[in-house]
């Protein structure tokens, strides 16, 4: 195998677009990584699974040797990766074997965490829950903050517990930080969540546009598919919008190095040109969309010359991008954090939807769009309603959707919180800060490193009156602040399903036993439901399932008739071959490659997941206003003018900090930080500065610098180059669990601000005003 640390993308396997009707021609390349000395022939058993370290959904088999996970091998038969794996997946399995896994529950005694057992730990959680639920305030005291990394069955169980057992609207996932804008923009434009496109669009397209998506480092195998097309016959053109000189930007034909926070100006200018040049499919627009006139009026105000000034990019680059977008025949776009975590996130993401609607670039091979996910199972958090959504992409404001859920769960509709939008994560932490939330249950996420303004988050979690439950694999920065810590089984130690960013559902088998007394998240939630005696309206147990497969069957019933219909899937159907894309029903058992093939969208008021929001303020419109527009299956062309980001630079904080990822690490590094090959590849954070800014500051390559905002500071060595002037980049992966006590702060979120997009409520991690100074180190 080639050195995938040195060259993360491995060797090229070029290919061209298939002839019409022919299957995708992307060659198979099976990547394998086994522990030293082990060969494939020596493996005892293989357990089918898929990647849990990004949303691409790369399928793999887990090698088991002597009862331990001993490596991985890509699955050649899978539609997503044709056998390929990325560096994190090749080595990441080693983290589960780390000798500092949590193996027993911990409870806080006399101020510090002490080893305990399940009886005592769950006893404490249940006692506090009952006390709060039976007292004044009831459900209002509960907050649940979960993940994009559990399995579908676990989220669905949690959603039922929260929404029908306790009846609290205060439930969200870290998906709020991750893909809330994907969901919000899909709902706004197309009526419901769900990716229209498919990865096979890469095989067919003649242009690829990457909007704030460093796919080379964050979805390595998808990037390999793109690169292989670029190296084959009839390669697609490529556009990248990113303030940094990423591997994607270097490969692209047109790089738009926008000043962070100005995406909407760029998009409005591109659409301005498309309309002006007549590069639109007028028939598609007339038949399948609403809002064209208003969009024209809005983008009229933003010609490329104006956007060039706002974004600080050459007009010629905007013109070149508009030419590709306007003349290609099959456009595939992906959007991610450079848009979702930046200024005017939902409004900007909706403009990418608009480009596709204006050009009729949806629902055909090669003409597709992915409002990407980041985390491996974020799609499931959203579809099961373990976040601020209702299960099955139902609309909280539609009483008949609430009745459907009440019927599925056999509860009174009044129990299900639906009198206001569900509480988003940033608001949950605010309620905890103010004291109305008194029990916060955090599963599979590490907010003490990943939320903005960490000093504030630490203060909230450490608050005397807040009872914090943390369910994790390791003793994280967040676990250190908990009252009860529950040890969870990891990927490979439990059974379940999850769905990637192009709607492909994979089964993940249990390969080995969890360490010590660790239990699957599903078993923990089921145990809680039993102890709390949650009942349905006939006095029978509310949660009627007892294991992953019965939970999956329960979910299928809830998904029936909705866009994410799973009724045609079974565990057995997911075994052996490839993952399958939803919707999958008994009448479409092979799944569905693309949504909206006929130009009919999910916007009917009886079906849609939303009644619409104002893009500028997030205000909810309500059914009357929505229905009056008579969407009837047409998509919305949303329009909004550019407004500058709330975080403005000035004399005191003259630079813009943007944060993000490196190919070798995953989030707060609880896994790759424990894998020597990955950790050694990027052992600590750094500060990327443009040569001009470094010069002005007198900073040399490698010199330790201080990055500071009114919230806090971090210290890390400078890396000069590969970023536009005025913008500074710091990876957000590095917290404190493996840092010596007394060392200088190094987490990017010491500096970032509490602020979010008005529509999606996704935090604004990509635009923070800072100053950078020399430390003399």
Select 48 or 471, whichever has its Cβ closest to ligand MGD.
471
441 counts as binding ligand MGD under rule CB under 6 A: no
Q: Which of 188, 600, 200 is nearest to 353 (CA)?
A: 188
Question: Alpha-carbon distance 266 to 306, whole Å?
Answer: 9
CB 689 within 8 A of CB 707: no
By CB under 6 A, the count of residues binding ligand MGD is 64
Q: Which is nearer to ligand MGD, 29 or 244 (CB)?
A: 244
| 575, burial (CB in 10 Å: exposed 0-12, middle 13-18, buried 19+) | exposed
Nearer to ligand MGD, 10 or 243 (CB): 243
Q: At its nearest, how many Å lie between ligand MGD and the CB of residue 765?
A: 4
Task: Say whether residue 376 binds Mo ion (CB under 5 A).
Answer: no
Rg (CA), the chain: 25
Query: Should residue 50 be labelled a site residue for ligand MGD when binding is judged by CB under 6 A?
Result: no
C-alpha atoms less than 13 angstroms from C-alpha of 303 in its C-beta half-sphere: 3
User: Are the C-beta atoms of residues 259 and 208 closer than 8 Å to each other?
Assistant: no
- Which of Mo ion, ligand MGD, none sits in contact with 143, Cβ below 5 to 8 A by type? none
Which residues 171-190 are close enough to bind Mo ion by CB under 5 A? 178
**Min. distance of Cβ 350 from ligand MGD in angstroms?**
15
Nearer to ligand MGD, 177 or 505 (CB): 177
Separation of alpha carbons 756 and 765, rounded Å? 9
For 479, which DSSP code? G
521 is an interface residue for ligand MGD by CB under 6 A: yes
476 binds ligand MGD (CB under 6 A): yes
Which phi and psi (to 5°) does residue 30 adopt?
A: -90, 115
Strands (E), 721-767: 727-731
Q: Please report which residue ranges of 201-289 form alpha helices under DSSP H.
A: 201-204, 215-218, 220-230, 247-251, 263-276, 282-288
Q: How far is the CB of 732 from Mo ion (least distance, A)?
A: 10
Cβ–Cβ under 8 Å, residues 81 and 578: no
Among the residue ranges 224-232, 510-518, 659-667, 738-746, the one whose residues contact ligand MGD (CB under 6 A): 659-667
Residue choice 12, 97, 456, 661 for contact with ligand MGD (CB under 6 A) = 661
Nearer to ligand MGD, 608 or 662 (CB): 662
Q: Would you count residue 242 as binding ligand MGD (CB under 6 A)?
A: yes
Site string for ligand MGD, 715-734 (x = CB under 6 A): --------------x--x--
E strand or H helix at 401: helix 399-409
Q: Does 129 sit near ligand MGD (CB under 6 A)?
A: no
CB of 669 vs Mo ion, minimal distance in Å = 14
Binding-site partner at residue 443 among Mo ion, ligand MGD, none, CB < 5 to 8 Å by type: ligand MGD
If binding is defined by CB under 6 A, does position 608 make contact with ligand MGD? no
Kindly indicate which of the ranges 11-19, 257-265, 405-413, 423-431 contains the residues binding ligand MGD, using the contact rule CB under 6 A. 257-265
Residue 446 interaction partner, one of ligand MGD, Mo ion, none, beta carbon < 5-8 Å per kind: ligand MGD
d(CA 564, CA 558): 10
Largest CA distance in the chain: 73
Tokens 């089921």 correspond to 526
Within a 10 A sphere around the Cβ of 436, how many other Cβ atoms? 13
Which residues are paired to 519 by β-bridges? 488
Among 192, 195, 214, 578, binds ligand MGD (CB under 6 A): 214
Query: Restricting to residues 657-696, which ones interact with Mo ion according to CB under 5 A?
Result: none
Residue 690, interface with ligand MGD (CB under 6 A)? no
Classify 538 in phi/psi space as left (phi over 0), alpha (psi -120 to 50) or beta. alpha
Of 355 and 406, which has the nearer Cβ to ligand MGD?
A: 355
x-marked contacts with ligand MGD along 55-94 as a string, rule CB under 6 A? ---------------------------------x------
**Of 102-110, 182-190, 549-557, 664-672: span binding ligand MGD (CB under 6 A):** 664-672
Region near ligand MGD per CB under 6 A, out of 69-77, 170-178, 294-302, 405-413: 170-178
Q: Is 571 helix (H, G, I), strand (E, B) or coil?
A: helix
CB atoms within 10 A of CB 42: 11
8 A C-beta contact, residue 184 and residue 759:
yes
Torsion-angle region of 150 (φ positive above 0: left; ψ -120 to 50: alpha; else: beta):
beta
Burial (0-12, 13-18, 19+ Cβ within 10 Å), 34: middle
Q: 375 or 423, CB closer to Mo ion?
A: 375
Q: In whole angstroms, how close is the CB of 600 to ligand MGD at the nearest point? A: 30
Cα 209 from chain centre: 19
Question: Are the CB atoms for 340 and 180 separated by under 8 Å?
Answer: yes
Residue 660 site contact among ligand MGD, Mo ion, none (CB < 5 to 8 Å, cut-off depends on kind): ligand MGD
Please, which of residues 323-342 interact with ligand MGD by CB under 6 A? Answer: 336-338, 341-342
User: Cβ distance 59 to 49 under 8 Å?
Assistant: yes
Angle at 481 between CA 713 and CA 133, to 5 degrees: 130
* Interaction partner, residue 218 (Mo ion, ligand MGD, none; CB < 5-8 Å by kind): ligand MGD
The reply to whether 375 sits near ligand MGD by the rule CB under 6 A is yes
Give me the least distance between CB of 667 and Mo ion, in Å please.
7
Give the residue among 34, 39, 44, 30 at the shortest CA–CA distance from 74.
30
Question: Which of these, 776, 607, 666, lies nearest to 147 by C-alpha position?
Answer: 666
Q: Does 289 bind ligand MGD (CB under 6 A)?
A: no
Identify which of residues 9 and 474 has a Cβ nearer to ligand MGD in the complex.
474
According to the binding rule CB under 5 A, does residue 454 interact with Mo ion? no
**116 vs 174, which CB is nearer to ligand MGD?**
174
In 3D space, the residue among 649, 651, 659, 637 whose CA is nearest the CA of residue 730 turns out to be: 659
Contact present, 682 and 665 (Cβ < 8 Å):
yes
For residue 395, the minimal CB distance to ligand MGD (Å) is: 25
Instruction: Tell me the three state secondary structure of residue 442.
Output: strand
- How many chain residues touch Mo ion (CB under 5 A)? 3
Closer of 220 and 415 to ligand MGD (Cβ): 220
The edge-to-edge listing of strands for the beta sheet with 580-581 is 496-499, 504-508, 580-581
Q: Indicate whether 177 belongs to the interface with ligand MGD (CB under 6 A).
A: yes
Closest distance to ligand MGD from the beta carbon of 191 (Å):
24
Non-local CB neighbours of 133 within 8 Å, separated by 6+ positions: 139, 141, 142, 166
**Measured CA distances, 351 to 48, 100, 264, 380, 760 (Å):** 39, 46, 8, 25, 15
Q: By CB under 6 A, is residue 461 in contact with ligand MGD? A: no
Indicate whether 216 belongs to the interface with Mo ion (CB under 5 A): no
Could you tell me which of 58, 55, 53, 57 has the C-alpha nearest to residue 31? 58
For tokens 């930007």, the residue is: 249
The answer to the question of residue 668 lying near ligand MGD (CB under 6 A) is: yes
CB under 5 A: which stretch of 170-178, 488-496, 689-697, 728-736 binds Mo ion? 170-178
Closer residue to Mo ion in complex, CB, 341/592: 341
CB closer to ligand MGD out of 243 and 568: 243
Residue 752 near which of ligand MGD, Mo ion, none (CB within 5-8 Å, type-dependent): ligand MGD
Q: Is residue 374 involved in binding Mo ion (CB under 5 A)?
A: yes
Tokens read off for 711: 């919230």
106 binds ligand MGD (CB under 6 A): no
Please report, as ranges, the residues that interact with Mo ion according to CB under 5 A: 178, 374-375
Binding residues vs ligand MGD (CB under 6 A): 54, 88, 147-150, 174, 177-178, 212-215, 217-219, 241-244, 246, 258, 260-261, 263, 336-338, 341-342, 374-375, 443-447, 450, 471-474, 476, 488, 490-491, 521, 658-661, 663, 665-668, 670, 729, 732, 748-749, 752, 765-766
């Amino acid at each position: 195998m080639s050195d995938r640390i040195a060259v993360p993308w491995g060797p090229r396997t070029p290919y061209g677009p298939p002839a019409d009707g022919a299957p995708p021609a992307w060659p198979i390349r099976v990547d394998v990584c086994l522990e030293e000395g082990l060969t494939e022939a020596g493996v005892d058993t293989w357990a089918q699974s898929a990647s849990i370290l990004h949303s691409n959904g790369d399928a793999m088999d887990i090698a088991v040797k002597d009862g331990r996970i001993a490596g991985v091998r890509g699955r050649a038969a899978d539609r997503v990766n044709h056998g390929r794996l990325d560096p994190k997946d090749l080595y990441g399995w080693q983290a589960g074997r780390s000798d500092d896994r949590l193996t027993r529950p911990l409870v806080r005694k006399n101020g510090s965490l002490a080893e305990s057992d399940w009886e005592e730990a769950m006893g404490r959680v249940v006692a506090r829950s009952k006390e709060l639920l039976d007292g004044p305030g009831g459900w209002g005291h509960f907050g649940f903050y979960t993940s994009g990394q559990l399995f579908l069955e676990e989220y669905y169980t949690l959603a039922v517990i929260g929404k029908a057992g306790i009846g609290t609207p205060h439930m969200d996932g870290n998906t709020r930080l991750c893909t809330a804008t994907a969901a919000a923009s899909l709902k706004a434009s197309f009526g419901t969540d769900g990716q229209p496109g498919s990865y096979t669009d890469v095989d067919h397209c003649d242009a690829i546009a990457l909007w704030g998506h460093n796919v080379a480092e964050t979805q390595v195998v998808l990037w390999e598919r793109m690169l292989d097309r670029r190296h084959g016959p009839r390669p697609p053109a490529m556009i990248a919008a990113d303030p940094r000189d990423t591997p994607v930007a270097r490969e692209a034909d047109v790089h738009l190095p926008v000043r962070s926070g100005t995406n909407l100006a760029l998009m409005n200018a591109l659409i301005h040109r498309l309309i002006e040049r007549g590069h639109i499919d007028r028939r598609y627009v007339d038949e399948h969309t609403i809002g064209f006139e208003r969009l024209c009026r809005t983008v009229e105000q933003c010609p490329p010359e104006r956007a060039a000034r706002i974004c600080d990019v050459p007009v010629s680059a905007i013109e070149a991008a508009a030419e590709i977008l306007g003349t290609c025949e099959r456009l595939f776009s992906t959007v991610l954090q450079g848009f979702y975590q930046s200024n005017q996130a939902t409004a900007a993401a909706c403009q990418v939807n608009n480009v596709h609607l204006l050009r009729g670039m949806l629902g055909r091979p090669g003409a597709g769009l992915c409002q990407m996910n980041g985390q491996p199972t974020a799609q499931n958090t959203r579809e099961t309603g373990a976040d601020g959504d209702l299960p099955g992409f139902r609309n909280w404001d539609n009483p008949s959707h609430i009745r459907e859920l009440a019927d599925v769960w056999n509860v009174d509709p009044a129990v299900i919180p639906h009198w206001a939008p569900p509480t988003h994560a940033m608001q949950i932490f605010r309620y905890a800060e103010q004291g109305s939330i008194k029990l916060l249950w955090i599963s599979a996420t590490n907010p003490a490193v990943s939320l903005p303004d960490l000093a504030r988050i630490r203060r909230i979690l450490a608050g005397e009156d807040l009872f914090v439950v943390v369910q994790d694999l390791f003793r994280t920065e967040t676990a250190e602040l908990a009252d009860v810590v529950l040890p969870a089984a990891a990927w490979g130690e439990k059974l379940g399903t999850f769905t990637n960013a192009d709607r492909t559902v994979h089964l993940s088998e249990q390969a080995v036993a969890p360490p010590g007394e660790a239990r699957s998240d599903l078993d923990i939630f089921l145990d809680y439901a039993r102890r709390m005696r949650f009942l349905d309206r006939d006095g029978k147990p509310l949660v009627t399932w007892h294991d992953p497969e019965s939970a999956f069957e329960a979910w299928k019933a809830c998904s029936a008739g909705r866009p994410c219909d799973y009724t045609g899937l079974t565990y057995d159907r997911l075994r052996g071959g490839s993952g399958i894309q939803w919707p999958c029903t008994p009448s479409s058992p092979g799944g569905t490659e693309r949504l909206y093939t006929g130009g009919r969208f999910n916007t009917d008021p009886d079906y849609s997941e939303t009644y619409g929001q104002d893009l500028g303020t997030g205000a909810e419109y309500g059914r009357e206003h929505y229905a009056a527009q008579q969407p009837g299956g047409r998509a919305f062309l949303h329009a909004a003018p550019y407004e500058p980001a709330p975080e403005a630079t000035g004399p005191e904080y003259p630079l813009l900090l943007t944060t993000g990822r490196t190919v070798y690490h995953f989030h707060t590094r609880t896994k790759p930080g424990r894998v020597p090959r990955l950790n050694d590849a990027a052992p600590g954070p750094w500060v990327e500065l443009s040569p001009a800014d470094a010069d002005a500051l007198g900073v040399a390559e490698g010199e330790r610098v201080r990055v500071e905002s009114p919230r806090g500071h971090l210290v890390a060595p400078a890396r000069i180059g590969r970023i536009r002037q005025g913008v500074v980049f710091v990876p957000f992966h590095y917290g404190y669990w493996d840092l010596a006590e007394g060392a200088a702060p190094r987490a990017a979120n010491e500096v970032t601000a509490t602020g979010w997009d008005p529509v999606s409520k996704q935090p604004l991690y990509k635009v923070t005003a800072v100053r950078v100074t020399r430390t003399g180190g």
